Structure 1
């Protein structure tokens, strides 16, 4: 680590990586209303990335073959020959720098430390949480989650915040399980939510069905972490929170379609879809016909 004050890389800021890279991100989750997770997709020319301190727990996933020389906390990180699908994992507070000699394509996924701890805190015996640095590891689950997040960015967030929250929680628990110094202790949650808890959550979902819902706000209703809430909700209902909310939206839409004075575009907005095309595709997938055909049959 150099004696001078390093740059701080904070993915919570707009154009976060402009302080270390020559080109802006092609895709970024900044402004997407995602909580606790930041995602950027880049294609960069050869460059020298100066030493910087990571503000968040960070995953860098290479998407092509390239030569990259890197250091973590001042120590050289092994092979410089990278292949598509290889990645590094580093904890918040890690000092990182790199030099590349050819064009490279990558994704950066950053997890906010506080949100990460809130997600997994009920799964470990004590704090602090330590993430063991990884260099050029391969992890099919992380790669799959990364592609799902990239697709969600490309679509403009069609699946909503509950979907992203579920991906974030799965990623957080996996990072803790595979790369944490402490291994998660996952208790049996076979009993699911108590009837009163489930009623509170369902009432809240129906009351605010027209807007994006976050997993954390549903979990807070019954004083659980997002991770344990998701598991217990599925035990109680047989579906994930995201699937349940989608079903509720479609059921609400079916009721509104009985009113001919309401346009399909208006109905899609009233049940929480910000894109009419996505609403129609989701409705058709669940009901078997488009909203228009469903209305015509009434």
Structure 2
């Protein structure tokens, strides 16, 4: 792509794909308060996108079989059937020119390079990483993460940002393991948290249990990277930060349910659930009873 004609596709910009696709996204993570990752769900008619340069590390996940192809850095892939469940992977800076001759449904995932590089460095102590482009491959883990992110968008963010942060980190590490030129060795993290630092984090979680907490926010409390923080937290507590926050929310809800003057809707909001149905399902899954039945037995 010549510098004069370069079209930059920056997923951090709202409606960035309007410049290359006929229709807007059906679902988008813009405005969802996600950090370091952008996700969109599309259903598009036959089209050929103009050649563009990807600003982020990008993953495309095909949801419906179609006929199409692409050029990645000038190398042609296709034209042949693209089947549901196939994906493509390309690094930031890749020149990308896709086309489809039939209706097509897909999920687009973009990882911010700085965020990705920080995760790579913390996990391997190396920043010399090159992502190799892949086209029409199958990867069950990426498919699972993609569907989980789409479901989270469709639900309006019921599981929260800590859940998305965990999915983002898992996706980044998987790409590092499977789709990079260099074979890397993961660093070992042993010993868990210093008890004082762990207590700072626990106190903060309980003080702000009603908020949608970020992994970066918790890691900054003890001046750690999100990846390093997550590994040490699980070693110390036995569960991920997201799972621990859910446990804390349910424990606080059990205490509030002792007060008959508080509605279940109010309690769900006070412990960080903005959807009463999701609160009830989560409570029942952990406690074995719905909030109402639990209160009736007190």
TM range, smaller chain:
over 0.9
Deviation at 1:133, TM superposition (A): 1.0
SS of the equivalent of 2:4 reads coil
Contact 1:58/1:108, CA 8 A, preserved across alignment: yes
Residue in 2 that maps onto 1:273: 273
> 1:43, 1:12 → 2: CA distance?
20
SS of the equivalent of 2:49 reads strand
> 1:121, 1:220 → 2: CA distance?
17
**1:116-155, aligned counterparts within 5 Å?**
116-155=116-155
Residue in 1 that maps onto 2:50: 50
Cα 1:9/1:115, change in 2 over 3 Å: same
Between the two proteins, the alignment pairs up a number of residues equal to 298
> 1:180, 1:224 → 2: CA distance?
25
Deviation at 1:72, TM superposition (A): 1.0
2:16 matched to 1:20? no
Q: Which moved more, 1:20-29 or 1:66-75?
A: 66-75
**1:106-125, aligned counterparts within 5 Å?**
106-125=106-125
Deviation at 1:187, TM superposition (A): 2.3
Contact 1:49/1:97, CA 8 A, preserved across alignment: yes
RMSD over aligned Cα, in angstroms?
Answer: 1.5
**1:1-298, aligned counterparts within 5 Å?**
1-2=1-2, 4-78=4-78, 80-298=80-298
1:76-98 CA-to-partner distances (Å, cap 9, x unmatched) read: 12553211111111111111112
> 2:69, 2:189 → 1: CA distance?
45
Contact 1:268/1:279, CA 8 A, preserved across alignment: yes
> 2:209, 2:68 → 1: CA distance?
47
SS of the equivalent of 2:71 reads strand
Question: TM-score scaled by structure 2?
Answer: 0.95
SS of the equivalent of 1:265 reads helix
Cα 1:226/1:162, change in 2 over 3 Å: same
Contact 1:61/1:87, CA 8 A, preserved across alignment: yes
Contact 1:124/1:183, CA 8 A, preserved across alignment: no
Deviation at 1:62, TM superposition (A): 1.1
> 2:199, 2:231 → 1: CA distance?
16
Question: TM-score scaled by structure 1?
Answer: 0.95
SS of the equivalent of 1:219 reads helix
> 2:168, 2:64 → 1: CA distance?
24
> 1:77, 1:129 → 2: CA distance?
24
SS of the equivalent of 1:50 reads coil
1:265-298 CA-to-partner distances (Å, cap 9, x unmatched) read: 1111111111111111111111111112222222
Deviation at 1:214, TM superposition (A): 0.8
Contact 1:70/1:80, CA 8 A, preserved across alignment: no
Question: Which consecutive residues of structure 2, in runs of 5 or more, have no partner in the other structure?
Answer: none
Cα 1:222/1:111, change in 2 over 3 Å: same
Contact 2:201/2:221, CA 8 A, preserved across alignment: yes
1:26-76 CA-to-partner distances (Å, cap 9, x unmatched) read: 111111111111111111111111011111100011112211121012221
